[in-house]
Amino acid sequence: MATSSRTSRSSRCVVPAPAVVPDPKTPGVPPVPPEDSPTAGESNEGRAWRRSGKRVGMDMDVRRVITDRIMAMLAQGEHVCRARWVQAATRGAPRNAGTGRSYRGVNALLLWDAAIVQGYEVPLWLTYRQAKALGAQVRKGERGVLCAQFERTGGRGDRDPHTELQDGLLQCRPFWLFNVAQVDGLPAKRLDPPAVAAAGPSAAEHGAMERVLRLVGGCNATLRHGFERAAYVPEFDEIRLPWPKRFASGENYGATLLHELVHWSGHPRRLHREFSARFGDAAGAFEALVAELGAVLLMGHCALVGAVVEGHADHLADWLEVLRHDRSAIFTAMRFAGEAFDFIMEREMPVLAPLS
């Protein structure tokens, strides 16, 4: 089992930041440029980097460090990770308190996990410099959450359809975020309760299973019941499920259905996901990881807290093996999971007015 690396800290010096990627919707890209470790205090790693005269994080293999952290989370058990991430996701996507933009991709997983572990109730985050610019101060000794920003330099921007990689050099740079609970002196408008509530899932008066059915109905996927295990069958383009009474709860049925709906979204007539060129024999396990992460996003939207995806093979060992050998795999998986989430959400049936 891989262990997580410690987040580095530095002094409060400010170094000019590199340019931000122009597309704020790209998974893994923050809405503000990264900066040198914006922590209130300094770790041994941060002091070593400062003494070396190098910019903090420049020698850090950010993808490897973050991948190891995700592996440590997964190693606790996929049910543990799913429960944590879904619980945090019901509060909405983590957002930047300065710009209002949401964090996506692996950054969302890292921030959701930190929110549950540390007990942060509000999904609003700032860099050290942003907090300072607002006249606030990160409390001394508070630790930031390491996140990643990607920036492509050079090349023509052409994408290889097999590897999903563009030409040019893709640079992964670190930046650190603090929850607003770690910051003193923030203006009250930055913690406006209506603004925080707006980030959450659909209106509370609509139950979790109603939201699931609106998603499934809007996608118009073919469902067949009466099977021993849940599965999506690409050859017939249909989702097969046991009868609902076979599930431990209605919520478990909904969670399992959402998991299969993510698989359904990858059909060649839809998002056309295909991983054999990159992952070989592990392509099936990687698709299962995409479905797991996509289901987390959908379950968070539907507020399926505590629900379990039933009747699926245990791919955890395969996932850890893929991530151990490919430091970019978790970023790719979250990107495809985000695409599946967006594809399904775009088809959600609207809430109908009650019959008079």
Q: Report DSSP state, residue 6.
A: P
Q: What is the pLDDT of residue 190?
A: 72
Highest averaged pLDDT of the listed ranges 77-91, 186-200, 266-280: 266-280
Query: 220: which 2 tokens?
Result: 């118009």
Residue 86 above 80 pLDDT?
Answer: yes
pLDDT digits (tens, 9 = 90+) for 239-253: 999 999 999 999 999
What CA–CA distance (Å, rounded) separates 253 from 243?
9
Quick check: 163 pLDDT over 60? no
Gyration radius of the chain over CA positions = 21
Q: Reduced to 3 states, what is the DSSP secondary structure of residue 48?
A: helix
DSSP state of 3: P
Mean pLDDT taken over the chain: 82
Report d(CA 84, CA 299) in Å as an integer: 12
Q: Could you tell me what percent of the chain has a pLDDT over 90?
A: 67
Report domain extents, the chain.
53-181, 208-345
Say if residues 297 and 341 touch (Cβ distance below 8 Å).
Answer: yes
Q: Comparing C-alpha atoms, which of 116, 121, 106 is closest to residue 297?
A: 106
Q: Is 126 helix (H, G, I), strand (E, B) or coil?
A: strand
The residue written with tokens 């922590």 in the block is 39
pLDDT, tens digit, 9 for 90 and up, residues 185-235: 998 877 764 444 444 444 455 799 999 999 999 999 999 999 999 999 999
CA 128/CA 182 separation, integer angstroms? 10
Please enumerate in sequence order all residues whose Cβ is within 8 A of that of 317, keeping only pairs 6 or more positions apart, or say none.
none
Q: 267 φ, ψ to 5°?
A: -60, 150
Tens-digit pLDDT profile for residues 15-41: 333 333 334 333 333 333 333 333 444
Tell me the residue type at 333.
A
| Whole-number Å distance between alpha carbons of 327 and 25 | 22
- DSSP-based three-state secondary structure for 159: strand
pLDDT at position 277 over 70: yes
* DSSP states along 169-215: EEEEEEEEEEEGGGEES--GGGG-HHHHHTTSSS-TTS-HHHHHHHH
Number of H helices, E strands in the chain: 12, 9
Residue 160: band (very low, low, confident or very high) from pLDDT cuts 50, 70, 90: low
pLDDT band for position 168 (cuts 50, 70, 90): low
